Amino acid sequence: MNVLVTGGAGFIGSHTVERLLSEGARVVVLDNFNDYYDPAIKRENLRAVRDQVTVIEGDLRDPSVVEQAFTALEGGLDAVIHLAARAGVRPSIEQPELYIDTNIKGTFYLLEACKRHGVKRFVFASSSSVYGVNKKVPFAEEDPILQTISPYAMTKMAGEQMCSNYSALVGIHTVCLRFFTVYGPRQRPDLAISKFTRLIHEDQPIDRYGKGDTARDYTFISDIVDGILGALAYSADEAAPKCSIFNLGGSQTVKLNELIEVIENSLGKKAEINEMPEQPGDVPLTSADVSKAAKLLNFKPTTHIDSGIPRFVEWWLNMRSKGLR
């Protein structure tokens, strides 16, 4: 099987690429190695498999680069796993046009290329942020979404709608995956777990927005990759709906104060807390109903945060020793 993984040098992407290779797939990685965080980290993510994949370094917003990725392997592509995106809720509030341009237009160019080349399987990385301030807990795929509260979430919802369009009009089998706060080795340095680990390790204060009672459904990276590969297999099922949406979460909602405590225990250091007001665009709670994914994708998250955070911290300290964190 020939698979294009966009954002394949990133956190989730590089783990997905490794799993695909282990299962015998031929992989093309499309990544622009942008400076949202240190590009050297992304290159390190791919170092172990660099000679086993075809890497196209370029921007999703350039149709010629997308075309290059679709024609890089002899025999063409069988499927696309679209993980590339401009990430982050707070930066999207500051630069909405960049997020609209990258996340919406980039997804459009990929789906157009699928149409042109007859690629019928498309897995799209969406986000739990599309639920906004959802009063029903846990969040289920059938819940009505009437309002998103950040440009980032809006672009992910637009991506889901585009997938629906191309499924209905072109016959591409699309699977949209709503990720719930993914963490683990290679996590981006701007995300809370990475940032807190670095600051506590350096004896610097951490910013805690609100009272620390916001809660997230944290999902370990290996569990997420299980879900992605399950979705890829599902996209080959001719009997399945042409467009499907699944939650991928850890089913373990954890409050911010509890998260900080687990990181403290893993590092053997106490955090100095800098109290901050609540942030615009942040949702107070995420909680995934994964029963649909369990039934149809055989998705069974197994890693609790009490074991996942120590594994992340061990990896982080190793990267720190190499000057990459």
The crossing angle, in degrees rounded to 10, of helices 221-234 and 11-22 is 60
Is this model's pTM higher than 0.85 or not? yes
Taking phi first (over 0 means left), then psi (-120 to 50 degrees means alpha), and beta for anything else, what does residue 24 get? left
Q: E-strand spans in 45-200?
A: 54-57, 79-82, 121-127, 173-179, 182-183
Mean pLDDT value of segment 84-98: 94
Known catalytic membership, residue 209: no
Cα end-to-end span (Å), the chain: 35
Instruction: Please tell me which residue in 99, 109, 131, 152 is annotated as part of the active site.
Output: 152
Residues paired with residue 273 on neighbouring β-strands, in sequence order: 206
Average pLDDT of the residues in 257-262: 96
For residues 267 and 313, give the distance between their C-alpha atoms in angstroms, rounded to a whole number: 7
pLDDT 10s digits, 268-282 = 999 999 998 887 777
By the 8 A CB rule, do 173 and 235 touch? Answer: yes
Amino acid 251: pLDDT: 79
Cβ neighbour number for residue 236 with a 10 Å cutoff: 13
The reply to whether CATH 3.40.50.720 applies to domain 2-180+221-249+287-300 is: yes
Q: Residue 281 has what pLDDT?
A: 72
How far is Cα 132 from Cα 28, in angstroms, rounded to an integer?
34
pLDDT tens-place string over residues 164-219: 999 999 999 999 999 999 999 999 998 999 999 999 999 999 999 888 989 999 99
- Give the model confidence (pLDDT) of 220-257 as tens digits: 999 999 999 999 999 999 999 999 999 999 978 999 99
| Banded model confidence at residue 325, pLDDT cuts 50, 70, 90 | confident
